[in-house]
Amino acid sequence: MFPLEFTFEGPPLSLQSKNSTRKRAYKQRVETAARQAIAIGTPPSTDDLQITITYFYEGDTPDVDNIIKPIQDALIGVVYVDDVQILDTRSRKKDINGSYKIRNVSANLLQAFSTGNDFIHVKIEQHVTTQDLI
């Protein structure tokens, strides 16, 4: 199943949002995008994983660290059993109007760029063990 990659329209929901209706709708949007990228019948992974979340935006955005948790929570039971399996997280924001040198890009990411709208790109991979530097 891995690497698993999908996109969905932005903007992201901030962890600090108190609106329960927006939270439910956002969770459903993330789940739907993930399910479309996974083969039918594939059970949630029990492996250690790493996730990279990139928000391609125009205009104001939430803090990059507030984008992570709502996405990770939405993927519980869909991509993985529990978000405790995420051992490495990377989150970033990039202006959609920026200049990009594109190599080895997925069709999924190109399709999202072609809309011209804000979007979130999520890539989940098996965790790669590296020696920690102190």
Q: Which CATH number does the domain housing residue 47 bear?
A: 3.30.1330.70
> What is the per-residue pLDDT for 98?
78
DSSP reduced 3-state for 98: coil
> 131 in a domain, yes or no?
no
| Burial bucket for residue 70 (CB in 10 Å: 0-12, 13-18, 19+) | buried
Q: Name the packing angle between helices 64-74 and 20-37 (round to 10°).
A: 70
Can you give the residue range of the structural domain that contains 13? Answer: 4-126
When divided into structural domains, the chain yields a total of 1
The residue behind tokens 């996730």 is 51
> What is the per-residue pLDDT for 130?
67
pTM (two decimals): 0.92
| 69 CA to centre of own chain | 10
The 10 Å Cβ neighbour count of residue 15 is 16
pLDDT tens over the chain, length 134 residues: 899 999 999 999 988 889 999 999 999 999 999 999 999 999 999 999 999 999 999 988 888 999 999 999 999 999 999 999 999 999 999 999 878 887 888 899 999 999 999 999 999 999 987 665 45
> 118 in a domain, yes or no?
yes
